[in-house]
Structure 1
């Protein structure tokens, strides 16, 4: 009997995403924007699966350290792709990181603003993570960046992408997640009252949401725990590529603080270097404790990337 062929892993499984290639490309400066205090700002692009992906790139204007600047891939949270604009939102976040001596690449996922490709959402399609990991590779080619000191920051959906990137690739040396969607898929299915999935656009008119398709195809987590574990980054925390710092407001009505608390306990159990800060009564954007959370974020990056 000939040997049975090895089954192709599901494209959203961690094994499937590890098997994919993320070569990145050279970063192209499309145009220079108005400079800010101690850093230059650019509208830049790179390639991801042949798509031209744009982003806001900041580069410190001080004397470059030996080996290049540490760099951060900045993963924004869910914003409707048709209203998303590269230079809007998260301005204060990017500025604080840039002022602290980091290259920051706040990327536009595919289908956002001028980025090519179709925006299919993060939770049921591998495209956004592909864009994130190609951004890491692109920064490693960037002359001013230190290729061995690449970190990642993520908010909400961007936190999901950050955690996922850190178990798929070993190139992200430190990650910070604010109000992240960092629960396992079963928890996301059954313990997320906000039901953010409803806001994710479907690939074509009338198409079934991926969640419904997965439940119909693979069964529930009780019926098929192997599948649901295979697509959950939480199943692979022993492989985290670096330390992780978590921030979450206790009054967050978009993403439950229990997601970050659960990940913290799971990462500790996996023997990982993880920190958790919760902010009493604060919201999804940590509006009440922004300065404190950002100071902790920068101190964390300084500790592990500088």
Structure 2
């Protein structure tokens, strides 16, 4: 496999009137490569753990476009730190339209890549955008009820109360926030054992990340279930899950993959965060690159119809 040198350029787009920041990784010497569009999961920014994936993909001949949602990182948008599936799906649509118009890439060979909450976003988006060439969803949020069931019973009412406070305060221009990640017992979106170490361990020093999110998201997430739409996905889709994931249950991810006509599933012996580093990352990225090399090769025209019918990938 070729290993290309990489150049990176900043490339911004507008979503609902606000400028969103993005970075484009390009393999040098490759004319209009296929392009992978990616964004991060709950409350994160593109500087947190995505660069390693972008570098490996682009070194293999793919262009990569990673962006920050409105209100996150250096993107515009207020109130800040507003996690909302509805708003973020709008940002995905704007980012995809932007990337398809870029002259450096082949916008007709486009891959959607998401992790955790954005893993759900790419599934939801691909269900309605049949021009997508392939989808990779890593430990994706696919079912609101399934993800909420992972929250400790004593924490759930506290999160709901925080959400109500944000709804009321937001009406008067005073949004209420809760922590994105915490330790067990904290009022935080992610507080499972190991979540603090796994999440914060990915944040580079000096990155413009804030450990807070508008609390109204806790009232929205239970009703966000991309699994309801996945049967409509036409593109080859790879879903990867962790067998020890205590945030997004692997069983729900497997069911989603089985419902996708051209879906595949890989189960790795990891938690929610270990797929970003070390040996788990190497196994993970190898599976993803092998999938892309089959369904949307970087060096030649896109592969023709691959009907896999929920085939499981050896992990």
- Shared fold per TM-score greater than 0.5: yes
CA distance in 2, matches of 1:171, 1:198: 38
Is 2:1 the partner of 1:53?
Answer: no
Assess if the C-alpha contact under 8 Å between 2:147 and 2:247 holds in 1.
no
The verdict on how the C-alpha distance between 1:213 and 1:129 changes in structure 2, with shifts beyond 3 A counting, is closer
Aligned counterpart in structure 2 of residue 71 of structure 1, from 35, 39, 42: 35
Could you list the runs of 5+ residues in structure 2 that have no partner in the other structure? 177-213, 298-315
Following superposition, the deviation at residue 50 of structure 1 comes to: 1.7
Assess if the C-alpha contact under 8 Å between 1:254 and 1:284 holds in 2.
no
Assess if the C-alpha contact under 8 Å between 1:255 and 1:284 holds in 2.
no
Assess if the C-alpha contact under 8 Å between 1:56 and 1:87 holds in 2.
no
Residues 129-140 of structure 1 aligned to structure 2 (within 5 Å): 129-140=89-100
The verdict on how the C-alpha distance between 1:209 and 1:105 changes in structure 2, with shifts beyond 3 A counting, is same
| Superimposed CA distance per residue, residues 208-242 of structure 1 (whole angstroms, 9 cap, x where no aligned partner) | 73554899xxxxxxxxxxxx6xx633222231131
Is 2:135 the partner of 1:168?
Answer: no
CA distance in 2, matches of 1:180, 1:256: 9
Following superposition, the deviation at residue 265 of structure 1 comes to: 3.0
| Superimposed CA distance per residue, residues 1-31 of structure 1 (whole angstroms, 9 cap, x where no aligned partner) | xxxxxxxxxxxxxxxxxxxxxxxxxxxxxxx
Following superposition, the deviation at residue 247 of structure 1 comes to: 1.0
Residues 259-270 of structure 1 aligned to structure 2 (within 5 Å): 259-267=252-260
Which residue of 2 is the match for residue 100 of structure 1? 60
Assess if the C-alpha contact under 8 Å between 2:234 and 2:262 holds in 1.
no
Assess if the C-alpha contact under 8 Å between 2:227 and 2:256 holds in 1.
yes
Assess if the C-alpha contact under 8 Å between 1:149 and 1:305 holds in 2.
yes
The verdict on how the C-alpha distance between 1:213 and 1:302 changes in structure 2, with shifts beyond 3 A counting, is closer
Following superposition, the deviation at residue 294 of structure 1 comes to: 0.5
Which residue of 1 is the match for residue 84 of structure 2? 122
Q: RMSD of the alignment, in Å?
A: 2.9
- SS of 1:56's partner is strand
CA distance in 1, matches of 2:30, 2:69: 31
Aligned counterpart in structure 2 of residue 187 of structure 1, from 128, 143, 146: 146
CA distance in 2, matches of 1:281, 1:240: 27
Aligned counterpart in structure 2 of residue 304 of structure 1, from 284, 295, 303: 295
Could you list the runs of 5+ residues in structure 1 that have no partner in the other structure? 1-35, 216-227
Following superposition, the deviation at residue 56 of structure 1 comes to: 1.6
Aligned counterpart in structure 2 of residue 158 of structure 1, from 118, 131, 136: 118
CA distance in 1, matches of 2:263, 2:130: 16
CA distance in 1, matches of 2:131, 2:69: 19
CA distance in 2, matches of 1:172, 1:145: 14
Aligned counterpart in structure 2 of residue 110 of structure 1, from 70, 75, 88: 70
The verdict on how the C-alpha distance between 1:235 and 1:256 changes in structure 2, with shifts beyond 3 A counting, is closer
